[in-house]
Structure 1
Amino acid sequence: MPTAIAVTSADLVLPPMDQHTPTAALLPAPGDQSLEVALAEMAVLLEQHGYVIVLCPSSIPAAHERRLHTIRSVLETNRIALLKPDLPPLGLAVLVRQLRQLSICDFGAGVTASAARLLSHYIYAGAVLNSVARLDRVPVSLKSHAKSWVPGSQFGVLANPSAELIKIGTGRLSGPDFTTRLVVAKGQAQSEWIDQTLVQEWQPSSMEEAALPADSPGWWGTTKLIEFAAFLPDISVLYQLVASVRREVCAWCGIELIGDRCGFCSAPLAVAESQGGDSGIPNRGTPVHHGP
């Protein structure tokens, strides 16, 4: 059975890319499920899949995060990975789907979990905002704050893999140099910029629409937004990217991993093992470029 991928919110589960991509398990908040039921359901997941990789938004409520740690502690298991990538909500949903795709490959659970950090570097996640007055996730200049109060102003913001902000009509956002698919989630903002400008600049091979995640307005500081994310959609490319990274064995829990930190016990790779300078992150674009 493939490694189980779990999420803390149903809107982090995008439709599968193909008929082989499994769905993700939902781990409800404490107010929606008793601890007894949560423990029983996690025990079933572990019995059926062996390992569970849980992806949480960086804005997860403290009570919900404590519940997840309680489950792992009560079950006395190191087979549950709790990951909290610092991605916008739609970008996180994209990462969840990519790990769902990888979960059916011949990678071990440790490699799949630590691949989350690697794949995050290839997700270009941003938004169109009518105001940046309450945006605190991306550095915003005082000049941009002032412009946000001008009626009709709109901003293009990139939060990952680097932080960028432009006033629409006066600049461009740095885009990927490899073939991507673009997913767009429309909130309350109205803008033709994505279709008329961003698509022309980034040249995605295809597009899809998704529902705006519930956490997006809070993450971006406004309800008047359109969120977008460009990502690697092809499972063969994802597989090649992960397989190209040297594998190590965690000195603490013994699981195989890539990169410099274990996704299950969070232990860093021993200094002696990492002195070779391999961070586990190939040069962006080099192993995955497959454009025309």
Structure 2
Amino acid sequence: MDVTTALAVTSPGHVLSPPDRHTPGAHVFRPPEEQPFEVALVQAQSLVDQYGYLVVVYPHTLPTPYLHRLHALRALLESDRIALLPSSLPPLALGVLVRQLRQLSLCEFSPGVLGCAARLLTHYVYAGAVLGSVAKLDQVPVSLTAHAKSWLPGAQFAVTTAPEPHLLRLGSKDEHPLSGPQFPTRLTVAPGGLTSDWPRGTLAAQWRVTDVQEERLPADSAVWWGTAKLTEFAAAIPDLSVLYQLVSSVRRDTCRWCGLELLGDRCAFCAAGPAEPPAAPAATPEGPLAAPSPTRPPEYGQLTVPAPPSIAPAGPAGPPYGPAHAPGGQVGTASELRPAVHQGIPRS
């Protein structure tokens, strides 16, 4: 099946190694000081011409001049086929998310659904790092006690930022397991200036990951975490068949502005909401028709997503993706799973 949506990032470190030979790569835009604007413009136009749509995923900490360049590219091309999606995930986790989107780009999802899947899948990425200091960490609330202990020789801290922030000092008496995923994940680890076996050993056992993969530390990780003494990690769903069914299980609507499909309450390409469903007028026994309600139905905008389960053998084979069919196991029905309910896809 042909890929109709290209993926792009703003740093080479956000393009992790593919899980198989079928997974496409992602284009890398360079910072303004490294790439002339005309070159970036030609590249963006070429991607849109070749694939049809372009989704650019970038960190919310992207420098302002770089962000302005991305918006200038979209404005000059006058294209509604370019989506600019900010992410609050740390660098390695952002690369893991983009890798999932690269996998899903082989499926028969429309560009609008693939773009919205970025916000959806963010809730199933567990991201963190082992840090040698939290003195300059501003992504997670840090107590004065933790700041003071950062100056102790050999101090190490385990920090998670997604889906919820947590911080604990390793080796302390009150050390407790970090809250982890309740579904099968692969742990990706990127060693930096701090050598630590804690993610591969203790954390992998606590989170019961299926396997551990090592990647190179993204160049922007030290700035994001406030220290070069770190080992970054991220756990996420590796199985394309589970990712496919997770995205497929979410209600789709049509964007009221550009007409693309969307998940939740916002289009990935134009940021407009879904079209209002037609309200059927209700007859009253004594007079004229009642005025249609201006509000959406109670369930409208609600996004009920089943928590990714262990693969169950029941159910028919899933739909094909790319050059081959989705791998063996299938996910159980929504009623068999523990649901995780989101009020729409939360705004980033």
State the TM-score, normalizing by the size of structure 1: 0.95
Q: Does 1:276 align with 2:299?
A: yes
Distance 2:230 2:275 in 1: 43
1:243 counterpart residue number: 248
Amino acid at match of 1:249: T
1:171-204 Cα deviation digits (max 9, x unpaired)? 2210000000000000111222223311110111
Bigger RCO (CA 8 Å, 6+ sep)? 1
Distance 1:260 1:167 in 2: 39
Q: In 2, are the aligned partners of 1:118 and 1:281 still within 8 Å (CA)?
A: no
Distance 2:95 2:147 in 1: 29
> Measured at CA, do residues 83 and 144 of structure 1 come closer, stay the same or move farther in structure 2, by a change above 3 Å?
same
Q: In 2, are the aligned partners of 1:179 and 1:205 still within 8 Å (CA)?
A: yes
User: How many residues in Structure 1 have an aligned counterpart in Structure 2?
Assistant: 289
> SS of 1:99's equivalent?
helix
Q: In 2, are the aligned partners of 1:52 and 1:80 still within 8 Å (CA)?
A: yes
Distance 2:305 2:10 in 1: 30
From 58, 61, 66, the equivalent of 1:59 is: 61
> Measured at CA, do residues 281 and 83 of structure 1 come closer, stay the same or move farther in structure 2, by a change above 3 Å?
farther
Distance 1:121 1:96 in 2: 14
1:207-259 Cα deviation digits (max 9, x unpaired)? 11000001101111110000000000011000000000000011111110111
Distance 2:18 2:200 in 1: 23
Among all aligned residue pairs of Structure 1 and Structure 2, give the percentage whose two residues are the same amino acid.
53
Q: In 2, are the aligned partners of 1:83 and 1:263 still within 8 Å (CA)?
A: yes
> SS of 1:282's equivalent?
strand
Distance 2:236 2:83 in 1: 23
Shift of residue 13 of structure 1?
0.4
Shift of residue 270 of structure 1?
5.9
Distance 1:62 1:146 in 2: 32
From 254, 257, 260, the equivalent of 2:259 is: 254
Shift of residue 277 of structure 1?
5.1
2:203 counterpart residue number: 198
Q: Gapped runs of 5+ residues in structure 1?
A: none
Amino acid at match of 1:280: L
2:39 counterpart residue number: 37
1:152 counterpart residue number: 154
1:181 counterpart residue number: 186
2:213 counterpart residue number: 208
Q: Does 1:289 align with 2:276?
A: no
> SS of 2:117's equivalent?
helix
Amino acid at match of 2:71: H
Q: In 2, are the aligned partners of 1:158 and 1:165 still within 8 Å (CA)?
A: yes
> Measured at CA, do residues 274 and 179 of structure 1 come closer, stay the same or move farther in structure 2, by a change above 3 Å?
farther
Q: In 1, are the aligned partners of 2:262 and 2:274 still within 8 Å (CA)?
A: no
Amino acid at match of 2:92: L
> Measured at CA, do residues 47 and 166 of structure 1 come closer, stay the same or move farther in structure 2, by a change above 3 Å?
same
Shift of residue 11 of structure 1?
1.1
Select the structure that is richer in helix. Answer: 1
Amino acid at match of 1:190: T
Shift of residue 63 of structure 1?
1.1
1:25 counterpart residue number: 27
How much is the aligned-residue C-alpha RMSD, in angstroms?
Answer: 1.6
Point out the more displaced range, 34-43 or 268-277: 268-277
The 5 Å alignment of 1:84-163 reads 84-163=86-165
Q: Gapped runs of 5+ residues in structure 2?
A: 277-294, 313-348
Distance 2:146 2:74 in 1: 44
Shift of residue 40 of structure 1?
1.4
2:321 counterpart residue number: none
Distance 1:51 1:280 in 2: 25
